[in-house]
Structure 1
Amino acid sequence: MAATKPNTGFWAGKRVLVTGHTGFKGAWLSLWLHRLGAQVSGLSLAPKTDPNLFSLAHLDDTVAHQICDIRDAKSTAKIFAEFQPEVVFHLAAQALVRPSYDDPLETFAINVMGTAHVLDAIRRTHSVAACVVATTDKVYRNTEHGIAFEEQAPLGGHDPYSASKAASEMVVESYAKSFLAEHGVALASARAGNAIGGGDWSQERLIPDAIRAWSKGSCLDVRRPNAVRPWQHVLEPLFGYIKLAEVIWDNPNLAQPFNFGPNADDVFTVRNVVEQASTAFGKGDAEFAQFETGPHEAHLLSLDNTKAKKKLGVGPKWRTDEAISVTMNWYRRHFDGADARDLCMADIAAYEAAA
């Protein structure tokens, strides 16, 4: 039977550490875990955008957070020792493809060595029993043959971001086999990407770029209108992360890589997303490029979510068109004066109630 919502009894009182809690996905995850009754702590850099969901949702009143760079191994280990978490979600990352071309060394330092620092801190913190490392749908060696990637597919990466995340998967596997399994820590990786949802103001992401343009009455320039991505509402992969942590707590043999993405028949191009987003937002013009510009980015990417369905009971609840509608409704209501935290909580409640 498919899981419908997180196990509140499991999370009540659990000490949970989220790295990257000031980011888009980390803020949503921290809010959800707090709603479930967890004692949430956070380790992250300061928010990178203004506005940002962390500040708008007043997460500094909810999360016991520390500003820390995971490239600093000693500071990272110190925070783990202070918080003594039982469950860790590692989301802190340089999470964008195009900026990885601008500063590849920073991307590799954060995504590879940063992950190693977090896992080494876990190795030295005996309270931790389960950890989920969020990587990306872009960890696979993408030959763009139109095949949805299964978890056993070869890893790779053309751009520095994808390569750094594929390398971080190898770090996860090494730490699991060399150290953490024998210490009783269940360590799994979660592969998902192209998450949309309210409260994202990141640069170089489609929906935030659209919101910035359309809220000012400007036209959105779309670089690759025909590119296909596994679009999903941010609550879809976060639900996967939460259920994965629940499962591996009692069944460490399932501490494996898992894909979280839309079903095979739910395929949207960038153009499809922009057109539906404009309709849902109530306004918004777009200029679609005739020719690709900029550094290399994969044109076709899709994930096979069969394993998560069978072993975790986790599958998509909202199709892409519904995810777009929910997302644009969040922004529209926020611009009308609604509180960001209330909007997030309403979306979480609606998601939990969805069949």
Structure 2
Amino acid sequence: MGLTNFWNGRRVFLTGHTGFKGSWLSLWLEKLGAEVSAVSLEPETNPSLYLRLSPWNGQNHHIADIRDAAAFKQRLIAFEPEIVIHMAAQALVRRSYKNPAETFATNVMGTANVLDAVRETSSVKTALVITSDKVYANNGSGVPFIETDTLGGKDPYSNSKACTELVVQSYRDSFFKERDIRIATVRAGNVIGGGDWSRDRLIPDFIRAFESNQPILLRYPEAIRPWQHVLEPLGGYLAFAEALTVAGERELPEALNFGPDPQSFAMVFQLAEALGFAHGVNNVWKPAPGKHLPEAPALTLSSDLALSAIGWRPRLNLQQTIDWTAAWYKANREGADMRAFSLDQIAAYEETLS
């Protein structure tokens, strides 16, 4: 599944470009030569990966809210993109408990606004909507989810993403099939890598604890998650969007999972200890005191369909994922040019695709 020159000169409209995954994807699209127009809110963290990777001289980046339907539609239609990649979301589970209405407004109605704008264009051939591995109705069995499993979600974040899947399905069946606009969703596992400073995520919480010479507090240390480096699913998104755009009469799935190799499934405390080893420290975690909001005890994905449909498979094992992540934060602490460093990591990952 090597990346081709397909993206060179391709007009891409991207939402959520100031977030963790969005910043990495923006940089990769720029490296591939795509013409990108992007819409997002201001970066929500300080430090911010988006700012670390500046300057963004080659792209049109706009600060705007996908909940503002009229303004969003105007920007998208004016750009005349061929491909839309919708990543903008409220992506934190604990925040969704605090602000459920905000989460549904952004993730459900925001997606409807994006697709309604696509409906008004004549240029778009492909729309890719990023949801989550948490869209599945999870009974805690630990059996890897496949794309046809029942959608669900108890917490507001997971539920909002399951609702997003239904919104996509409705727009596909109601509007896009008759116009031959390809639209699909993608579901990724627990993504880690350099440049994430969000709250209530393991890697940035670990980095903050490490830099404060404190142990990280783990709410559910024995919870199992499908850890993967951020470039893994992003490479899948690019490959899937390309396949959808050039598919012709070929039938492709309406949704794909992009998860790590099953050997990269690990408990939260195991990843914390591996991060500690990579940073040369021991006794890196302890249980967080108090009662915690519920989270699924086990969550794993099957990516077999992605392999058979578009030839995608994970390239990095768990140790490589940890090493690449630790190296990024180390370089950042030492004052390296993080745009150049990140481009080097993208180039190294591209070599694994050939």
Instruction: Please tell me the TM-score bracket, short chain as reference.
Output: over 0.9
Report deviation, 1:105.
0.2
- Give the corresponding residue for 2:30: 34
AA in 1 matched with 2:198: S
In structure 2, distance between residues paired with 1:73 and 1:284: 50
- Give the corresponding residue for 2:74: 78
- Give the corresponding residue for 2:269: 271
Task: Identify unmatched segments of 5+ residues in structure 2.
Answer: none
- Give the corresponding residue for 2:4: 7
- Give the corresponding residue for 1:315: 313
C-alpha contact (below 8 Å) 1:43/1:67 kept by paired residues:
yes
In structure 2, distance between residues paired with 1:321 and 1:294: 29
AA in 1 matched with 2:349: Y
- Give the corresponding residue for 2:142: 146
Is residue 215 of structure 2 the alignment partner of residue 202 of structure 1?
no
The superposition leaves residues 145-180 of structure 1 with CA deviations (integer Å, 9 ceiling, x where unpaired) of 121100000000010000000000000111111111
Task: Identify unmatched segments of 5+ residues in structure 1.
Answer: none
- Give the corresponding residue for 1:162: 158
TM-score normalized by the length of structure 2: 0.96
The superposition leaves residues 242-280 of structure 1 with CA deviations (integer Å, 9 ceiling, x where unpaired) of 000010112263151000001223321111110111111
Is residue 178 of structure 2 the alignment partner of residue 182 of structure 1?
yes
AA in 1 matched with 2:330: R
The superposition leaves residues 197-225 of structure 1 with CA deviations (integer Å, 9 ceiling, x where unpaired) of 10111111000111111112222111111
Q: How does 1:31-180 map to 2 (within 5 A)?
A: 31-180=27-176
**Helix, strand or coil for the counterpart of 1:271?**
helix
**Helix, strand or coil for the counterpart of 2:3?**
coil
AA in 2 matched with 1:7: T
- Give the corresponding residue for 1:287: 285
AA in 1 matched with 2:87: L
Q: How does 1:195-234 map to 2 (within 5 A)?
A: 195-234=191-230
The superposition leaves residues 100-132 of structure 1 with CA deviations (integer Å, 9 ceiling, x where unpaired) of 000000000000000000011011111111111
- Give the corresponding residue for 2:240: 244
- Give the corresponding residue for 2:299: 301
In structure 2, distance between residues paired with 1:158 and 1:342: 41
In structure 1, distance between residues paired with 2:146 and 2:103: 25
- Give the corresponding residue for 1:340: 338
Change (3 A) 1:277 1:116: same
C-alpha contact (below 8 Å) 1:223/1:288 kept by paired residues:
no
In structure 2, distance between residues paired with 1:146 and 1:246: 32
In structure 1, distance between residues paired with 2:212 and 2:341: 22
**Helix, strand or coil for the counterpart of 1:108?**
helix
In structure 1, distance between residues paired with 2:290 and 2:254: 36
**Helix, strand or coil for the counterpart of 1:230?**
strand
Match of 2:17 among 8, 21, 26: 21
In structure 2, distance between residues paired with 1:288 and 1:225: 9
C-alpha contact (below 8 Å) 2:215/2:286 kept by paired residues:
no
How many residues align? The count is: 351
Aligned-residue Cα RMSD (Å) equals: 1.4
**Helix, strand or coil for the counterpart of 1:231?**
strand
**Helix, strand or coil for the counterpart of 1:354?**
helix
The superposition leaves residues 39-66 of structure 1 with CA deviations (integer Å, 9 ceiling, x where unpaired) of 1110100100111111111053232011
Report deviation, 1:285.
4.5
The superposition leaves residues 326-351 of structure 1 with CA deviations (integer Å, 9 ceiling, x where unpaired) of 00110001111111111111111111
Report deviation, 1:240.
0.6
In structure 2, distance between residues paired with 1:335 and 1:214: 12
